[in-house]
Amino acid sequence: MKILEVLDRKSIISDLAASNKTETLKEMAAPLAEAAELDPDALVNVLVEREKLGSTGIGGGVAIPHGKLKDLTSIALGFGISRQGVAFDSMDGKPTHIFFLLLTPENSTGLHLKLLARISRLLKQEPFKEKLLQTETGDEIYQVIQAEDEEF
């Protein structure tokens, strides 16, 4: 599955304003909730509950917050960059700058895991992360992701 099959341009935030974990989740969830016609508070609650199981901050400046929602009909993906970095309880204890927010319907475990694996593989590539961090706009971010998606 390609990332751009589920990433809506309106869900790309090129400069997150949030300075902590919960605010980051709220800021990233807002455009996804609007697009999927979901209650943003319910969406954030699902993400916060998932974070209680263990941080989705995987280290290296990356986090992939994710959750499953019963009212969601298809996979939704958001992206954000925090220029200042967010304390996200990452495994390496360092600030997080790159975020992919993944939401899936409750019954789509296979797709959920495939997309998580795809995103994780991409974000292990330092040149890809560097290109993302050098962008300034949502369109530039989209183009960087598109270039990698085409290689897949």
Q: Which two tokens stand for residue 80?
A: 């954000």
Pair of tokens at residue 26: 């709220």
Catalytic residue among 21, 26, 66, 129: 66
- Concerning whether 112 is annotated as a catalytic residue, the answer is no
How far is residue 137's CA from residue 83's CA, in Å, rounded to a whole number? Answer: 12
Structure tokens at 120: 């994780």
CB atoms within 10 A of CB 115: 23
Query: Distances from the Cα of 19 to the Cαs of 68, 84, 87, 116, in angstroms?
Result: 25, 8, 8, 24
Q: Active-site residues: which are they?
A: 66
